[in-house]
Amino acid sequence: MSGPDAVLVTGGAGFVGATLVRRLVASGHRVRVLDNLSTGAAAHLAGVDAELVEGDIRDAGTLDKALAGMGAVIHLAAAGSVVGSVQDPAGNFDVNVLGTFQVLDAARRAGIERVVQASTGGALIGDATPPVSERSLPKPISPYGASKLAGEGYAHAFAKTYGIRTVAIRFGNVYGPWCERKRGVLNVFFEAVHSGAPLVIYGDGTASRDYVHVDDISNALQLALEKDVPGGTVLHAASGVETTVKELADLCCQAAGAPGHPIEYRPKRAGEVGRNFASYDLAKEVLGYAPSVSREVGIPRTWKWFQDEVFRD
């Protein structure tokens, strides 16, 4: 299969990629993954009928080869850590801004019609009164958020200048299977409960996020790939539910059968947003997107995955 049904997924060996690639393959797409395996793993795609090309999105020649015969791109590859971007803003810029530019420019050279890119809600918009939406004014408060905004800017420009049908999907905080290499709060909490260490909360526990299951994010990405949407579109894919860090800690402990597990509070970290959750109204209107996995179902299901795949030894 070539043409629009053949999809290059950058960063497809990562956490979101592991679910997305399975979903695309199951839907009949031919999938090639370009990944430098810096935070991803070939094992994430074990047994999946997708081609894995090991290489870096910052290398134009690698991208040209990876795009041969492809009709569309889903661009997930990124340096995805807010804390990491505060520690190494130049490294974050290099992968997220320069890398995204290289992906778009290679898509232009290859005559690719559709590019869907992973963006972020909370980190890009900053401290705004939630729910945030496409109408919220972006004011990033971390280098990571700024890098994603720059990537959206280039995608919009390439849509208007070169006619590439770009769609940026701003994710909430994604959780679910294959997140074991991430330093996201949910797996940090799970590891703490498993090892018997206290759960560590930075700040007073009232900071909130929009936790969205990776199945819902993968659905949004596939809809953005397949539906007819104008180029330059930006959409939030979220749960629409505000969950405080303290509520999340309680949900994790309950899922693990350890209610009352100790919690330790430490000072708030730089670059992190206070309250955040998002409205997905436009994604619903434009893509027919709606979240299907509630936190009450998704968190216990993810704990079960950790028990089966990560904590089994």
Ligand X SMILES: NC(=O)c1ccc[n+]([C@@H]2O[C@H](COP(=O)([O-])OP(=O)(O)OC[C@H]3O[C@@H](n4cnc5c(N)ncnc54)[C@H](O)[C@@H]3O)[C@@H](O)[C@H]2O)c1
> Which residues form the interface with ligand X (CB under 6 A)?
11, 13-17, 35-40, 56-58, 76-78, 80, 95, 99, 118, 120, 171, 173-174, 182
Closer to ligand X by CB, 14 or 231: give it. Answer: 14
Q: Is the peptide bond before 138 cis (omega within 30 degrees of 0)?
A: no
CA dist., res. 2 & res. 221, Å (int):
19
Q: Strand runs (DSSP E) across the chain, as ranges?
A: 3-10, 30-35, 51-54, 70-75, 114-120, 165-171, 173-175, 199-202, 208-209, 211-213, 233-237, 243-244, 263-266
Residue 226 is encoded by which pair of tokens? 């397949």
Closest distance to ligand X from the beta carbon of 82 (Å)? 10
Torsion angle defined by CA atoms of residues 197, 198, 200 and 206, in that order, rounded to the nearest 10 degrees: 150
Backbone angles phi, psi at 109, to 5 degrees: -60, -35
Closest distance to ligand X from the beta carbon of 4 (Å)? 22
Q: Which residue has the tokens 């893509």?
A: 287
Query: Any catalytic annotation for residue 211?
Result: no
Closer to ligand X by CB, 187 or 193: give it. Answer: 187
CA dist., res. 177 & res. 44, Å (int):
10
Burial tier of 61 (Cβ tally within 10 Å: 0-12, 13-18, 19+): exposed
CA dist., res. 180 & res. 3, Å (int):
34
Closest distance to ligand X from the beta carbon of 119 (Å)? 6
Closer to ligand X by CB, 11 or 231: give it. Answer: 11
Torsion angle defined by CA atoms of residues 144, 146, 149 and 153, in that order, rounded to the nearest 10 degrees: -130
Catalytic residue among 144, 211, 280, 289: 144
What's the DSSP call for residue 142? S
Closer to ligand X by CB, 103 or 199: give it. Answer: 103
CA dist., res. 98 & res. 100, Å (int):
6
CA dist., res. 238 & res. 21, Å (int):
20
Closer to ligand X by CB, 27 or 38: give it. Answer: 38
Closest distance to ligand X from the beta carbon of 120 (Å)? 4
Closer to ligand X by CB, 44 or 246: give it. Answer: 44
Closest distance to ligand X from the beta carbon of 57 (Å)? 4
Return the active site residues: 144
